[in-house]
């Protein structure tokens, strides 16, 4: 990349991934990208190394997509956490609900709770459903609780009492009592003030588990960034100040993948693709999401079997990436992932790894061209792959190295196809009605094959595909979600509903103004969760004058019937506040005359045989150019495979549009 001149003021998006840390720099309307190998043990080292490339230019703002919270949760590397709850309900996070994740698997195991038995404490108190206090807190008991927690050397505390969403008085009192401990305390009445004690307790415990680690990391990063403003991406697709992310780290669990969906959706809307399936294949995982004229957000997510009740993008993740390791299972069958080589040691071709990965398989097949990889800045050790491939080939009995490499690609493609079917076919959507929007460093090599398997006719590979998640960080608005449980009759709720909405608006306006937005730059949207009385599930609809009728319509659309004579219960009221940010512009480009010639023609393994394939440099392609397959289109951050019976059209925004024949 070209150097930024001294004194320039710009914004930078930084997405920390499993293999690479991606940077997108916006300076005077120009967009530039670059990558650094990630440093998993100290993610901010890679960030500072990348920022060091920018000479002495002034950084106005850094928007960060972080995997720190995600990794700490999945790897169980969070804080030593205690749970304080109502006496008699200490085991709610273990008991959970009666649902089974795998109905026919008699060996299925629940994940170990983040808070072990010896660190779950019950306090004698009782607040009932209407917020009135039936049994006050025992102050002497609180003093003993503080002593017990100190003796256990806890690093963080989660407090989740029954019906604290209706009256937080007791949780606030416990917060004051625990102050001498000097550790972070997470209150359920602030993290998730909604009913359903299991989901509320689980979300609060996760927040407490992550708070010390995330706090230390963001404080260290903010100090190293000196005077630059630091914002962090949340799972809902909005960014917030680092101080907010420190206090509520549970909202950053999908921080990195959320940036990708925001970036893909924004670019797709600009370019005229309203219905997309996002396909983000990076180094360690693949993230997919379905967007039909909007980004879908859910309040019913699970991370590693633990419910998370805060709003999160509806993203499905599988352990299938360029660094996914190929090996034989106990039965001798080939499997790929979820284990990944990550950034260290990385794939074999990176020079340190010893185990075959998807990236190595693509090199063997001739699809990943070393001359394009990071523009040649990182040399691929292609000669190291063959010995490892032969060892696996002898063990597995494959006839040739190419067939084994193709087997690796087939397995990982099958895993990713299943993920796309899960968020489309299994939810009532026909993937043929959508455009597959492909990004991530590894996605372009697999997208066309997946689209063909799913019957999708069009694949779009945007500009900067290997850094689109980082670009999405700079396209994200500041967003905050607020909620409150009411549990009242919907047709007799006007005064209570109006008061609850007013309270949420007061908090939302204050917090968005604290984020630096003026009143005219702030927008908000109100929603309600409704259900028929007696049901145990809700549907969310916009809060409008006819919201009850809209609920009936939504229920009929989802479940095939509506019962307009049955009482409707208003469960939760929700408000989303958005502060609009300045976004990079995407300009149309004029048509180019003629057709570019390939750099060269090389044999590439396609459709299970070697095929003479044209190799193109994406930088040389312009609007209206057409590339017929088979072809390889290489660039700094990614490589795109155009198979036979497919053509690639470069549109006016310089996207690669792959059109597959039926």
- Examine residue 306 and state whether it is found in any structural domain, yes or no: no
- Examine residue 453 and state whether it is found in any structural domain, yes or no: no
Kindly report, residue by residue over 278-298, the tens digit of the pLDDT. 999 988 889 999 999 899 988
Kindly report, residue by residue over 614-654, the tens digit of the pLDDT. 999 999 999 999 999 899 999 999 999 999 989 999 999 99
CATH number of the domain residue 498 falls in: 3.30.1490
- Examine residue 525 and state whether it is found in any structural domain, yes or no: yes
Based on the fold, state whether residues 131 and 179 are members of the same structural domain.
Answer: yes
Q: Is the pLDDT of residue 5 over 70?
A: no
- Residues for the chain: how many in total? 662
| Mean pLDDT value of segment 52-68 | 84
Based on the fold, state whether residues 497 and 525 are members of the same structural domain.
Answer: yes
- Examine residue 240 and state whether it is found in any structural domain, yes or no: yes
pTM of the model: 0.90
Q: Which of 531, 546, 579 is the last residue of a domain?
A: 579
Q: Which of 552, 579, 606 is the last residue of a domain?
A: 579
* Residue predicted with more confidence, 107 or 261: 261
Q: Which of 559, 579, 599 is the last residue of a domain?
A: 579
In which domain, by residue range, is 144 found?
Answer: 78-201
Q: Is the pLDDT of residue 98 over 90?
A: no
What pLDDT shows up at residue 189? 96
What pLDDT shows up at residue 6? 44
- Examine residue 600 and state whether it is found in any structural domain, yes or no: no
Strand partners, 302: 307
Based on the fold, state whether residues 90 and 187 are members of the same structural domain.
Answer: yes
Based on the fold, state whether residues 248 and 187 are members of the same structural domain.
Answer: no
What pLDDT shows up at residue 2? 47
Strand partners, 570: 488, 530
Based on the fold, state whether residues 572 and 521 are members of the same structural domain.
Answer: yes
Angle in degrees, 0-180, between the axes of helices 447-454 and 401-423, rounded to the nearest 10:
60
- In the chain, the percentage of residues whose pLDDT exceeds 70 is 98
Give the C-alpha separation, 593 to 631, whole Å.
20
Kindly report, residue by residue over 220-269, the tens digit of the pLDDT. 999 999 888 999 999 999 999 999 999 999 999 999 899 999 999 999 99
Based on the fold, state whether residues 187 and 88 are members of the same structural domain.
Answer: yes
CATH number of the domain residue 235 falls in: 3.30.420.40
What pLDDT shows up at residue 455? 95
Lowest mean pLDDT among 10-19, 256-265, 419-428: 10-19
Based on the fold, state whether residues 18 and 104 are members of the same structural domain.
Answer: no
Strand partners, 528: 541, 573
The structural domain count of the chain equals 3
* One-letter-per-residue 3-state SS of 64-117: EECCHHHHHHHCCCCCCEEEEEECCCCCHHHHCCCCCCCCCCCCCCCCCCCCCH
Which residues fall within 8 angstroms of residue 394, CB to CB, at 6 or more apart?
none
CATH number of the domain residue 173 falls in: 3.40.50
Give the C-alpha separation, 62 to 223, whole Å.
13
- Closest CA relative to residue 210, chosen from 250, 243, 240, 182: 250
* Residue predicted with more confidence, 227 or 456: 456
Based on the fold, state whether residues 236 and 128 are members of the same structural domain.
Answer: no
Based on the fold, state whether residues 68 and 83 are members of the same structural domain.
Answer: no
Q: Output the CA–CA distances (angstroms, integers) from residue 228 to 27, 82, 224, 470, 523, in the order listed.
A: 15, 35, 9, 17, 26
- Closest CA relative to residue 477, chosen from 395, 579, 555: 579
- Examine residue 161 and state whether it is found in any structural domain, yes or no: yes
Based on the fold, state whether residues 57 and 87 are members of the same structural domain.
Answer: no
Q: Is the pLDDT of residue 1 over 50?
A: no
Q: Is the pLDDT of residue 78 over 60?
A: yes
- Examine residue 561 and state whether it is found in any structural domain, yes or no: yes
Kindly report, residue by residue over 507-545, the tens digit of the pLDDT. 999 999 988 899 989 999 999 999 999 998 899 999 998
Based on the fold, state whether residues 482 and 510 are members of the same structural domain.
Answer: yes
Class of residue 430 by CB neighbours under 10 A (exposed 0-12, middle 13-18, buried 19+): exposed
- Examine residue 285 and state whether it is found in any structural domain, yes or no: no
Based on the fold, state whether residues 489 and 531 are members of the same structural domain.
Answer: yes
């Amino acid at each position: 990349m070209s150097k930024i001149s001294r004194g320039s003021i710009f914004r930078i998006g930084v997405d920390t991934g499993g293999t690479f840390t991606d940077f997108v720099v916006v300076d005077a309307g120009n967009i530039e990208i670059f990558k650094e190998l990630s440093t998993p043990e100290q993610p901010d080292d890679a960030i500072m190394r990348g920022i060091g490339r920018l000479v002495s230019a002034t950084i106005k703002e850094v928007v960060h997509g972080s995997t720190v919270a995600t990794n700490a949760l999945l790897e169980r590397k969070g804080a030593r956490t205690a749970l304080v709850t109502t006496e008699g309900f200490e085991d709610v996070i273990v008991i959970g609900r009666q649902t089974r994740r795998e109905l026919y698997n008699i060996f299925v195991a629940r994940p170990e709770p983040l808070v072990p038995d010896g660190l779950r404490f019950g306090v004698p108190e009782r607040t009932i459903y209407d917020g009135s206090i039936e049994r006050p807190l025992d102050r002497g008991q609180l003093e003993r609780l503080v002593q017990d927690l100190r003796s256990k050397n806890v690093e963080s505390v989660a407090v989740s009492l029954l019906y604290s969403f209706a009256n937080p008085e007791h949780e606030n009192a416990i917060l004051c009592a625990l102050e001498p401990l000097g550790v972070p305390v997470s209150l359920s009445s602030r993290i998730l003030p909604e009913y359903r004690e299991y989901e509320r307790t689980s979300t609060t415990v996760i927040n407490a588990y992550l708070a010390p680690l995330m706090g230390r990391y963001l404080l260290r990063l903010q100090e190293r960034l000196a005077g630059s403003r630091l914002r962090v991406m949340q799972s809902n697709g909005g960014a917030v100040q680092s101080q907010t992310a420190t206090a509520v780290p549970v909202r950053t669990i999908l921080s990195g993948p959320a940036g990708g969906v925001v970036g893909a959706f924004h670019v797709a809307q600009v370019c005229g693709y309203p219905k997309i399936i996002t396909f983000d294949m990076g180094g360690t995982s693949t993230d997919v999401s379905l967007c039909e004229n909007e980004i879908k957000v859910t309040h019913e997510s699970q991370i590693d079997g633990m419910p998370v009740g805060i709003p999160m993008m509806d993203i499905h993740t599988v352990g299938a990436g360029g660094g996914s390791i190929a090996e034989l299972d106990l039965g001798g069958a080939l499997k790929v992932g979820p284990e990944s080589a990550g950034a260290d040691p990385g794939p074999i071709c990176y020079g340190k790894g010893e185990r075959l990965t998807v990236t190595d398989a693509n090199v063997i097949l001739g699809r990943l061209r070393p001359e394009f990889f990071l523009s040649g800045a990182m040399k691929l050790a292609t000669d190291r792959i063959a010995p490892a491939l032969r060892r696996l080939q002898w063990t597995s009995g494959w006839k040739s190295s190419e067939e084994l490499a193709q087997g690796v690609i087939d397995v990982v493609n099958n895993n990713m196809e299943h993920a796309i079917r899960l968020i489309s076919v299994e939810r009532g959507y026909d993937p043929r009605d959508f455009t597959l929007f492909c990004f991530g460093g590894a996605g372009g090599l697999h997208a066309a094959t997946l689209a063909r398997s799913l019957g999708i006719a069009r694949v779009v590979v945007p500009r900067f595909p290997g850094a689109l998640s980082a670009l999405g960080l700079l396209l994200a608005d500041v967003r905050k979600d607020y909620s409150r449980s009411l549990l009242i009759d919907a047709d007799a709720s006007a005064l209570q509903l109006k008061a609850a909405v007013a309270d949420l608006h007061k908090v939302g306006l204050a917090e968005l103004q604290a984020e630096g937005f003026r009143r005219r730059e702030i927008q908000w949207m109100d929603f309600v969760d409704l259900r028929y009385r007696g049901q145990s599930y809700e549907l969310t609809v916009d809060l409008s004058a006819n919201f009850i009728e809209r609920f009936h319509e939504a229920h009929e659309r989802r479940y095939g019937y509506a019962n307009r004579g049955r009482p409707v219960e208003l469960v939760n009221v929700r408000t989303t506040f958005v502060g609009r940010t300045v976004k990079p512009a995407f300009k149309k480009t004029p048509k180019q005359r003629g057709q570019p010639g390939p750099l060269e023609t090389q044999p590439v393994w396609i459709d299970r045989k070697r095929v003479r394939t044209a190799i193109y440099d994406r930088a040389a392609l312009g609007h209206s150019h057409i590339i017929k397959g088979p072809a390889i289109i290489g660039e700094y951050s990614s490589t795109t495979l155009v198979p036979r019976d497919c053509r690639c059209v470069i549109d006016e925004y310089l996207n690669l549009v792959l059109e597959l024949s039926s």
